[in-house]
């Protein structure tokens, strides 16, 4: 039988109101000595606050929900660390709902589970939504942010990500600067994220006076396997270099290249986008355009709570 504030009230001969005030630190509404008695009793009884009851009573939503989609790529950690730091600074708690591995049914479920809780807002990490899910989200009338991956249908300020046009441009420019003129772009998905990176790539090519062969653009899903499976097409295409849409894509390409005895970077240069630890694990190591996932995570949380009314 768990101890409640009533038990503490009884033990200290105080009212539950006073106990509550002490326990939720409503400073200036109680005497130091009273606080000591209450805290001592709480400690002794092994009291633990019941957030559900508290939220229900106060009708104030403090908790942030994070929906985590298990993409094959691995940058959650940085994003979560950023979210955590920002949450700490703002005295917010966040809880994570797992949406499985790009599984629409699980995502719907995670979304519903989150919305059934008393929640101040939702952060969607690496999440792609279908129309139905988007409708649920918008209907809920709760602030949300797409983090790192987002869709073109999103309005202003509902997503937080790197500047993907710049990223695409930087990656491509790096290869151009190293003397390449036939450059593929591999592993893009059809989200706005993918499209913008592609745009950056196109800008860099155009600015350098280079033309792009349509066979150089290879769609995908950011995964390692996808990188491996795209390699033959890259190899056949008439290119000397490739921008990989993620580290995982890059690693997959490098691995498949090694298998096919194609030398990287001599026969094929690879640059990837993300900058996770994966870049150091391949042989040769991957050159990359780095995303600051920590900042993306922190920014998304801040943006969410500074604009909760939205």
List residues near DNA by CB under 7 A. 2, 4-6, 13-18, 20-21, 23-24, 26, 28-31, 33-34, 47-50, 53-54, 56-60
77 binds, among its own copies, DNA, none (CB under 5 to 8 A by kind): its own copies
b/e string for 246-256 if b means 16 or more Cβ within 10 A?
bbbbbbbbbbb
CB-CB neighbours of 176 under 10 Å: 18
Shortest reach from residue 258's CB to its own copies, in Å: 5
Instruction: Give the binding site for its own copies (CB under 8 A).
Output: 46, 48-53, 55-56, 68, 70, 74, 77, 80-81, 83-84, 93-98, 100-101, 106, 113, 115-118, 139-140, 224, 251, 254-255, 258, 277-278, 280-283, 285
Nearer to DNA (CB atom), residue 51 or residue 281: 51
Shortest reach from residue 281's CB to DNA, in Å: 47
Nearer to its own copies (CB atom), residue 38 or residue 278: 278
Shortest reach from residue 62's CB to DNA, in Å: 11
138 binds, among its own copies, DNA, none (CB under 5 to 8 A by kind): none
What is the distance between the alpha carbons of residues 243 and 229, in angstroms, rounded to a whole number? 15
> If you search the block for the tokens 């005295």, which residue do you land on?
91
205 binds, among its own copies, DNA, none (CB under 5 to 8 A by kind): none
Nearer to its own copies (CB atom), residue 140 or residue 305: 140
Shortest reach from residue 254's CB to its own copies, in Å: 8
Nearer to DNA (CB atom), residue 63 or residue 255: 63
**160 phi and psi angles, rounded to 5 deg:** -130, 125
Geometric angle at alpha carbon 207, from 244 and 190, rounded to 5°: 40
Nearer to DNA (CB atom), residue 45 or residue 210: 45
Specify the pairing of strand 269-274 against strand 287-290: parallel
Nearer to its own copies (CB atom), residue 77 or residue 306: 77
104 binds, among DNA, its own copies, none (CB under 5 to 8 A by kind): none
Shortest reach from residue 156's CB to its own copies, in Å: 25
Shortest reach from residue 204's CB to DNA, in Å: 53
């Amino acid at each position: 039988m768990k101890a409640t504030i009533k038990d503490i009230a009884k033990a200290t001969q105080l009212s539950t109101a006073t106990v509550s005030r002490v326990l939720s630190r409503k400073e200036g509404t109680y005497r130091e000595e009273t606080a000591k008695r209450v805290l001592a009793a709480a400690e002794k009884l092994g009291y633990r606050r019941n957030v559900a009851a508290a939220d229900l009573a106060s009708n104030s939503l403090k908790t942030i929900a994070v929906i985590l989609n298990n993409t094959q790529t691995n940058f959650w950690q940085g994003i979560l660390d950023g979210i955590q730091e920002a949450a700490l600074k703002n005295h917010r708690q966040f809880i994570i709902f797992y949406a499985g591995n790009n599984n629409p049914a699980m995502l719907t479920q995670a979304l519903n589970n989150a919305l059934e809780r008393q929640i101040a807002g939702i952060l969607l990490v690496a999440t792609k939504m279908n129309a139905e899910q988007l409708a649920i989200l918008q209907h809920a009338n709760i602030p949300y942010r797409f983090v790192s991956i987002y869709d073109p249908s999103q309005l202003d300020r509902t997503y937080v990500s790197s500047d993907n046009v710049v990223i695409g441009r930087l990656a491509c420019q790096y290869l151009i600067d190293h003397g390449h003129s036939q450059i593929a772009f591999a592993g893009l998905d059809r989200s706005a994220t993918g499209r913008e990176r592609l745009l950056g790539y196109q800008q860099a090519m155009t600015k350098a006076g280079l033309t792009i062969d349509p066979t150089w653009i290879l769609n995908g899903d950011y995964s390692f396997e996808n990188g491996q499976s795209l390699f033959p097409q890259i190899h056949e295409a008439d290119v000397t270099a490739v921008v990989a849409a993620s580290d995982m894509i890059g690693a997959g390409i490098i691995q498949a290249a090694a298998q096919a005895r194609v030398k990287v970077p001599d026969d094929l240069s690879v640059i990837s986008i993300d900058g996770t630890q994966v870049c150091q694990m391949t042989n040769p190591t991957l050159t990359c355009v780095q995303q600051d996932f920590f900042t993306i995570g922190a920014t998304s949380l801040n943006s969410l709570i500074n604009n909760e009314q939205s």
